[in-house]
Amino acid sequence: MLKLPAVLTHAQATGFSRTAGQEVLSQPAQVLLDASELQQFDSSALAVLLNCRRQALAAGKTFAVSGMPQRLLQLAGVYGVDELIPAAAGASVPAA
């Protein structure tokens, strides 16, 4: 399982994406991202999630996110990418 940091804004996105990309490839058949610690973010967090998803699917793996903050779900809806970022089976969405 990959954990998103507490802060994931434009300033951190490129560095985190590089590291996460390597970790995605080392994961077993399912890539699961834990977003439960994510507190401060902007749309760059969505770009990171979508990049991890792209890499996972390209490697023939499934992709899901657990603990996604409600505000990030809303942002994904605004950008029309919410259906591309599936919640992990049995994952609950934290309160806003």
Residue 93 lies inside a defined structural domain of this protein? no
Tell me which residue of 93, 84, 88, 73 sits closest to 1, measured CA to CA: 88
| Number of domains composing the chain | 1
Buried b / exposed e over 8-30, threshold 16 CB at 10 Å, is beeebbeebbeebeeebeebeee
Are 27 and 61 spatial neighbours (Cβ–Cβ below 8 Å)? yes
pLDDT, tens digit, 9 for 90 and up, residues 23-54: 888 888 999 999 999 999 999 999 999 999 99
Assess if residue 92 is contained within a domain: no
| CATH code assigned at 55 | 3.30.750.24
Q: How confident is the model at residue 90 (pLDDT cuts 50, 70, 90)?
A: low
Domain that includes residue 77, residue range: 2-84
Provide the whole-model pTM.
0.85
Q: Which residue type sits at 6?
A: A
Tokens found for residue 56: 């996972």
Whether residue 65 lies inside any domain: the answer is: yes
Strand partners, 30: 62
In a domain, 58, yes or no: yes
Q: Looking at the domain assignment, is residue 71 inside a domain?
A: yes
* 90 in any annotated domain: no
